[in-house]
Copies of this chain bind each other. A is one copy, B any other.
Amino acid sequence: MANLSISRPLPLRNVLITDDFWSAYIRLVRNVVVPYQWEALNDQIEGAEPSHAMRNFKISAGLEQGEFYGMVFQDSDVAKWLEAVSYLLETGYDAELEQLADEVIAIIAKAQHADGYLNTYFTLKEPNGRWTNLAECHELYCAGHLIEAAVAYYRATGKRLILDVACKLADCIDQVFGPGDTQIHGYDGHQEIELALVKLYQTTTNERYLRLSQYFLDERGKEPRFFEEEFHRRNGQTHFPSLDMVFDYTYNQSHLPVRQQHTAEGHAVRVVYMCSGMADVAAESGDLELLEACRKLWTNIVSKRMYITGAIGSMAHGEAFTLDYDLPNDTAYAETCASIGLIFFAQRMLQIEAKSEYADMMERALYNTVLSGMSQDGKRFFYVNPLEVWPDAIRKNHQLNHVKPVRQGWFGCACCPPNIARLLASLGQYIYTCQGDIVYANLYIGSEMTLDVTGQSIIIHQHSELPWKGNVRFTIEVSAKTSFTLALRIPNWCTEPSLTVQGSPVQLAENVRDGYVYLTREWNDKDEVEWVLPMEVRRMKGHPHVRDTFGKVALQCGPLIYCMEEADNGAGLHQIVLEDEDEHQKHFEQALLGGIQTLSVAAKRIRSEDLGHKWGEQLYSANIPHEWEPMTAQFIPYYAWANRGQGEMSVWIKEK
């Protein structure tokens, strides 16, 4: 095993976000999303599908009477809520919220069995069915989310109760699973426990948890196939008959041992959660073979199976990857959770190797798909994030059944909303990583970060005008001269960045490695570093092998991908063709959609007024030339789409 140099994020409490753009979202999470989700978990939202998640815990704890209701993985919604709450508490004291969390934790603790087992579905519905259907029933997945929440709450508050619950649960799992003769040689249908156990190891330093994580990773894909064996042991009983979770090996990545997987196959969220766990174990154990598998999967995803918005999952069936370069815009699955998982994976790879491509991808997924997943008011969510929408077809063509033309209040399978909440609430962890005396600035988000470098406390103030302008200023606060290296990511969307330190230009070429510029010096108090990252509107093309982008372009400005909406351009977006010239007008519209920059581009469209006259009842003709009229095509950032009612939307637009 190699000894890897890992750069680590700082404790969340050390990073105070003060960003014009992101602070508003984090406030929204605190003031709207988390309270709204609490109501949802307690079935207090009129018209929304009931969640029953808190009731399940109360009933399991013996505090209420009733029956289990909801998905088999309903517990995880409470865990993700608690995890988000923990991040909010770590970044801003809130006695009332902490009290509420303590109450929830007390209920969860009461629902735990004496042997550490904790899962309300099996406790209430199938008390004798524990660990009999790992393929479908998400027991270890739910455990993983509980562990993540426990670690987060402990880190935020120092209170041990939920951490003890998590350890007891992990110990229970460690007894049940493993290579021993009396143990189950298995793994979960939905990866999550793997990365959670590494967090628990990092927090407790108990190496059993790291070993157990690696065990789960390495069992997956072995033959004979565990899911088939347990399927026969339970006489073929099936929980999700419409899905083939047992025999469709790729669905849960059990088609091959993880170290031999070179392409991302099956359920997209499972893939990226698995990859996150693999990267975690590789980082902690120095397992280079596992790291190499991570690199291959990463490359396959980002170079062949990812939408320009950082979304992944090309089909609804199995919420899954399909094949290289198959990226349909309208029938995309592009689940919000999958992009969140991709960020988890990217962040872990970035910790292992400081290459800007990982941070670029985090930024891409964050500014586009993750934000698209939530409405401007924080109350409605997209599970699926298509790149092209024709609402009439969604209503009538079953192929688009999974797509919604507007965000929805709450889902029966409510994975995405709490996942957005926990990501945004912990956003501070993604901005910087540190390794020895190197501080990596990965994301340009206004913030105040405190850390110790070689015994010296420093504060880095970041002021950022992203995503609207590429001006970023770092001010160093030190009590005495301090030597350290500030490594700044050069965003992949910027072709002519310029950097000054204390007003003096820095020659980038000689200081750049893997997309980061390294500034090593003795820093004085109030030293300033300024990035000027010109944001030109870029006409992005897809790789020519991508059928659904060929002949089209997508506009990108800074990290933001843009789209056209019917609200601005009328119906029939497919009839619009951008002119060849490269002039793009930018306007910042304060009153629009929370304040956004829009783009105007010269285009032409089919003259619609005489279409009826010219075509009559002909559907096909050789004789009717298209008549065009000039227009100005209006673009808004993709993340802001579908906040003005139903209408067509398109990211990829034809180009002359």
Contacts and interface: CB of A to CB of B under 8 A. Distances in A.
A575 interface: yes
B543 A303 contact: no
Given A306-B619, A317-B398, A322-B393, 14 more contacts: A302-B619, A315-B398, A316-B398, A316-B399, A317-B399, A326-B396, A331-B399, A495-B623, A539-B622, A540-B620, A542-B620, A543-B611, A543-B615, A544-B615
Contacts of A302: 617, 619
A397 B322 contact: yes
Contact count band on A: 35 or more
B575 A544 contact: yes
A413 to B, nearest CB: 19
8 contacts: A322-B396, A323-B395, A399-B399, A540-B620, A541-B626, A543-B611, A543-B618, A547-B574
Contact of A543 (B331, B393, B620): B620
Contacts of A399: 315-317, 328, 331, 399
Given A314-B397, A390-B547, A617-B303, A622 B322 contact: no
A395 B322 CA distance: 9
Contacts of A317: 398-399, 401
A550 B620 CA distance: 11
A306 to B, nearest CB: 6
Interface in A42-82: none
Interface in A390-412: 390, 392-393, 395-399, 401
A611 to B, nearest CB: 6
B544 A299 contact: no
A572 interface: yes
B315 A397 contact: yes
A492 B185 CA distance: 69
A654 interface: yes
Contacts of A540: 620-622
Given A396-B323, A654-B551, A618 B303 contact: yes
A161 interface: no
A546 interface: yes
Q: Which of A320, A395, A541, A618 has the largest count of B CB atoms less than 10 A from its CB?
A: A541
Contacts of A545: 572, 611
A375 to B, nearest CB: 27
Contacts of A323: 392-393, 395-397
A433 interface: no
A1 B615 CA distance: 34
A621 B306 contact: no
A323 B317 CA distance: 23
Contacts of A306: 619
A421 interface: no
A389 B260 CA distance: 31
Interface in A598-628: 606, 611, 615, 617-624, 626
Contacts of A328: 397, 399
A538 interface: yes
A93 to B, nearest CB: 43
A299 B317 CA distance: 35
A544 B315 contact: no
Interface string A218-230: 0000000000000
A315 B544 CA distance: 27
A429 interface: no
A146 interface: no
A62 B584 CA distance: 80
Interface in A316-349: 316-318, 320, 322-323, 326, 328, 331
A581 to B, nearest CB: 15
Interface in A268-305: 299, 302-304
A326 B541 contact: no
Contacts of A495: 623
A167 interface: no
Contacts of A397: 314-315, 322-323, 326, 328
Nearest to A626: B544
Nearest to A615: B543
A551 B573 CA distance: 13
A392 B395 CA distance: 29
A303 B619 contact: yes
Contacts of A615: 543-544
A556 interface: yes
A425 interface: no
B314 A622 contact: no
Contacts of A654: 550-551
A193 interface: no
A317 to B, nearest CB: 3
A308 interface: yes
Interface in A529-556: 538-547, 550-551, 554, 556
Nearest to A607: B544
A544 B619 CA distance: 9
B541 A624 contact: yes
Nearest to A539: B622
A54 to B, nearest CB: 34
Contacts of A574: 547, 550
